[in-house]
Structure 1
Amino acid sequence: MIRIQKAGEIEDEFFCGRNFGESIESVRGILKDVKLRGDEALHEYSKKFDMDSPSELKIPEETLRRAAEKMQSENPKLYDSLCYSRDLAVRFASRQRESFDDFEVELEPGIFTGQKNIPVERAGLYVPAGRFPLVSTVVMTSSPAIAAGVKEIILCTPPRKNPDGSGSPYADENIMAAAFICGIRTVFACGGAQAVAAMAFGTQTIPAVDVIVGPGNKFVAEAKRLVYGTVGIDMIAGPTEVFIIADKTANPKWIAADLLAQAEHDVVAQAVLATDSLELAHNVSLEIERQIEMLPTKETAAQSISGFGRIIITESLAQAAEIANRKAPEHLELAMSESPERQKLLSRIHNYGSLFIGHGAAEVFGDYAAGLNHTLPTSGSARFTGGLSVRAFIKTVTTLRTDNTKPGARKSAEAAGFLGDAEGLAAHAAAARLRLE
């Protein structure tokens, strides 16, 4: 049963981060070991943690091709859906890339300042394949990298036993097929914290990358945290979450379904509804109990709903928006009909990973096939960052060009000299004043 409470009863801990992970010493050991011993360490950890331990790590391109052809033949609807998802994601990410302008502007006479957006050379994608092999994550991690113009993209995912019995490296078939569909040809059967270490430091087989992106369990998240600085990362992801603001026009069946869609991810996933309608709250609670019985993922969803889910009764929808801003959820839904009140809320809310506006905009569309990226900030980090985008794969750098015969350049040299004096940095001041001679 989902908990129902009034807004005034919300505990402070509700607004605290939910990473459920701390500095894990075993991860530190794995990182150090892979850095020192490379492939040898990867094979040992694969034997210890994975479903299979192939003698080689790189999956042949032909194996990826066969997986895609098999999907197209045996499951054409999934194949077409992945192609559709890829096309939308690349189109959206390409439009994002267009928003990053390269420019040069003359701020003062003789002072030309500029900006360039340069893609990283090599990106590493991590795609988990535990209880739920995240096929859609292949699309979501590769599309912004492709749109950004990254020259080389590699993908790591946990190994699976090859059904032909050859021992040749293999992975989840759908993930391999999705990689091929998305144009990724360099895929390694390597998972967990050791895969993050391999992409961060490089081994005899897996090259070091500039940026690592993609979700994973707490060990993968901790590994990404520890290698940040050696490589760039997208974010440290905690348990997934959805926050729905709904009024009396909302459909309780749809709201319940959206809450359960989040809850089935993990026993610590958090699904929250905030509404000023007692009737809607009651009906959603009943719908959750009805729908959860039909889910194959009932056990996980039930633990999530009872342990972390809640329905918050607010005095107004404006109060619900205030709570959402403080919570800064990964996914935020406005389950309301188009109205002046909805427009007011849209102007008030500003902390979220991705926003879904209106009754029809299901959060699962964003997960799978609406162009948006589903790799989003969790645990309150939407207060200061957004989701995965082309920005993760681009360096925005600056340029300076001067014409020292013009007054602006001379004024900058004079100002730099005085500032160098003030800081006691004589060489700075001299380097500036020499330009005045």
Structure 2
Amino acid sequence: MQWPIRRIALLMALSALPLSASALTVNISKAVSSSAPVAVPSFGSGPAGQPDIASIVRYDLQHSGYFSVINPALYPDDPHSAATINVAQWEKTGALAMVVGKVHPTSSGYVVDADAVSLITHKMLAGRRYVSDAEGYHMVGQEVADLLYQQITGEPGPFASHIAYVNQQGSHYDLDVAQSDGWNPHSILRGKIPIISPAWSPRGRQLAYVTYRHRHSVIYIQNLASGQRHQVPDQGTALSAPAFSPNGQYLAFAKVWERGRTELVRENLQTGHEQVLTRTGTVNTSPSWSPGGHHLVFVSNRQGSAQIYQMRTNGSHIQRLSYSGGYNVSPSYAPDGRWIAFVHAYRGVLSLAEMRPDGSGVQMLYDGGNCEHPSFARDGRMIVFATHRGGQKVLGEVAINGKGLHFLPIAGQTNEPAWAPR
């Protein structure tokens, strides 16, 4: 599969602007709280039937958990470049930063110019030009949101990325990929056989997933550009819960032997060599790699209840991480290594929680419905997860600070989300 967007990010000429160019990420980050007030004036209209750039940027930033977007009704004017900003007037809005720009229709699509500006220092932070066709226009809005996000937080933004998920409509199961806000979904696979546990390769070019063949679960790895797929050898046993190593060399997964014994296996994707990592005779599943590829967190019932453990990737030095409650599953390591998201049984509800890599600092993020399958955005600051709401299976997103909770407007019964690594 080939993504429709054709974008070019060009560093604009900053020297001609009255606001001087500067990289003030650290200064701004230290000056603001976890909900920095920002402003996003209009950019002009784009393709019919699509949200305009400003609406996309406002939505993304408002729901990130780290920004509050000032009501456009309070804006003193509507500038479209850094050179036309009346800083004194905009300071009165309370905004600490803003992103301004203009949409230019062309014969083949759209050119979008965007300037990120600090209202604390009166300096321009960055400028970019994006070129796209109509289908890629929405992604440009998310690129613009990432531009301001990175300048303020110092982290690459999570918005201009994709999520994979399973969408069940009636008796059909779709493996879909959409943009991070649910826009522009594409079907990767469709059929009447259940699909489970999609997992991205490190470069975002492949998806591993579980389905069924000859009455037992198997793992396929599918190339998104070509649509070609191949099956991970199973030797007649059931496989589940695939996870690519950060360097893409290995695939960890769970393998079921006789009498329900489920062990973790690491396969070298180049040589096909398998190494069994656990040998407890119990259930060991749901592996997730640490960012450096030196550890795996996983779920095991070896001490009687489902808990989260960590081990080195050769199967040694196993230690238990979760101790709060009798049921902790679905661990997901943040790409920056700061947190592990997981599902925690709390007051009879499967809730979304997070903890430090050593098991400390457990925090509840969402306890409003039975949660499943958390997955981190590429910057490690946001999490997508599946939950139940109003009798439907839906996808939610929330920041690691517990703010910005929202649910993606995707039709159907959606679950098993995985946020792309880039």
Q: Give the TM-score normalised by structure 1.
A: 0.30
Instruction: Considering fraction of residues, name the structure with more helix.
Output: 1
Larger Rg: 1
Instruction: Considering fraction of residues, name the structure with more strand.
Output: 2
Q: Give the TM-score normalised by structure 2.
A: 0.31
Higher RCO structure (Cα 8 Å, ≥6 apart) = 1
